Amino acid sequence: MPSQLDALRQYTTVVADTGDFEAMRAHRPTDATTNPSLILKAVQKPAYRPLLDKLLAGHPGAATAELAERLLVAFGLEILGIVPGRVSTEVDARLSFDTQATIERARRLVARYRHAGIDRERILIKIASTWEGIQAARVLQREGIRCNLTLLFSLPQAVACADAGVQLISPFVGRIYDWYKKAAGAQWDEAAHAGAQDPGVQSVARIYNYYKARGIQTEIMGASFRNKSQILALAGCDLLTISPELLGELAAADAPIERRLDPAHAAQAAGDTLPCDEISFRSLLNQDAMATEKLAEGIRVFVADAIKLEALIDAARRPA
């Protein structure tokens, strides 16, 4: 009997959410995603220190910010030697509210990959789903630079991304679940909010149905999972990016799974069409306390980890 991981692959493209090369080799994902937090975690492991040492030796006079950018690409290049598909590389979260700076950084990342012989079709530039980030993605997509819009917690964000013609969105499941669980406090009923009743799962299903009912081509990649049931409840989503721990759980289980999301049923739950102009975007996002808070929090966390990564690089380049 096939494992749940192999069964999931019948309905969904499996993506590794990690900077750990060995985990990717073990679980054979099609694509891989990274972010500053994952790279920071990976580069502190002895197995990955040679990547940083090689970078420092090859660019002794480079500024710390440049070295951090080169390190992200170095990880991406290693990942592309393992997975057959694409890798997502993130624009510095400190640029999340600067459209032009995001565009320029994305162009530079793609140029670095191109210099290493990688076609842009294998690269997704990861950008926070702020209004400014979405407008940067609009420009980049027109240039043929494919974008992955991350830190996405609401349908208005997803609608704006579709209007911008982005390649892929990453709606977060686990962080939505976290917010509602914390808000409920002692009143939270885990069993009542499991599987299809999980608020994070419901958010992704809402986006999926909205997109498929309208023939929107933007790919949907569920992300940020806290448990296996969240993943199985989204079987059928275009892609799911999964941590090594949960990939391992899926690989070790063989209970049957069934498709939960299907374009054929999307129109039945598609909902009304939302406007996607700037005022509507900001107003609708502001009305959603969860999405507003989790977007801001996510940017702060990624900024903090980008700063920690630069500090680690500075420490590594100082003489012992």
Give, as one character, the DSSP assignment of residue 266.
Answer: G
End-to-end alpha carbon distance in the chain: 54
DSSP lists the bridge partners of residue 171 as 152
- Kindly tell me the sign of the dihedral angle through the C-alpha atoms of 49, 52, 58, 62: negative
Q: Partners of 144 in the beta sheet?
A: none
DSSP 273: P
In angstroms, the CA 18 to CA 44 distance is 14
The DSSP-derived string for 197-256 is G-HHHHHHHHHHHHHHHTT---EEEEB--SSHHHHHTTTTSSEEEE-HHHHHHHHH----
Catalytic residue among 126, 181, 182, 212: 126
Q: Do 259 and 8 contact (CB within 8 A), yes or no?
A: no
Q: Which amino acid is at 188?
A: W
269-280 b/e (C-beta count within 10 Å ≥ 16 → b): ebeeebebeeee
Q: Beta strands 87-90 and 123-128: pairing type?
A: parallel
- Catalytic, 126? Answer yes
Residue whose entry in the numeric block shows the structure tokens 């002692």? 186
Cα–Cα distance measured from residue 102 to residue 126, given in angstroms and rounded to the nearest whole number: 10
Burial class (CB in 10 A: 0-12, 13-18, 19+), 7: buried
In a 3-state reduction of DSSP, which class is residue 169? strand
Residues carrying an active site annotation: 126
